[in-house]
Amino acid sequence: MKSSVKKGIGFGLTSGIITTLGLIMGLHSSTHSSGVVLSGILVIALADALSDAMGIHISEESESIHTTREVWEATVVTFLSKFFFSAMFIIPFLLFSLNTAIVFSVVWGLLLIVVFSFYMAKQQKANPVTVVSEHLLITVLVIVATHYIGCWASNIGQ
């Protein structure tokens, strides 16, 4: 797999999952509304995917070591993977109750982070336990922090 494609998929997957789980937890904690959470996922799937794709594009260009094709491959793959991995969280909210969708989303997101981190560690000949633990810790910290930020935000103005 090309380096530019790997970069786009790796960034899109991890950022899409972690950002969307953070958004889900924060919006749920502050509103307890399926509609608000679903709207947030739709907005972040598009806006953040475009934003991150532009960020990767500029980052790759600024290195001055990539061809124009490699820059655009990383840009497009980042957008598509970020959009896909964010948008997939819409499905549980269409199929399940709010609380079940939250649990399903967290478990699914953590599972994907574990699988991708394990794969990445094996590719880099690194210790999978260390890599997976580090990535899980960061993901869980985001989930917990955004939950409490949502709780705090729900109390503003009351």
Question: Minimum mean pLDDT among 33-42, 75-84, 100-109, 148-157: which range?
Answer: 148-157
Q: pTM value?
A: 0.91
Residue 146 near residue 23, CB atoms below 8 Å: yes
- Note the maximum CA span of the chain: 54
- Tokens representing 106? 């967290």
pLDDT tens for 66-109 read 899 999 999 999 999 999 999 999 999 999 999 999 999 999 99
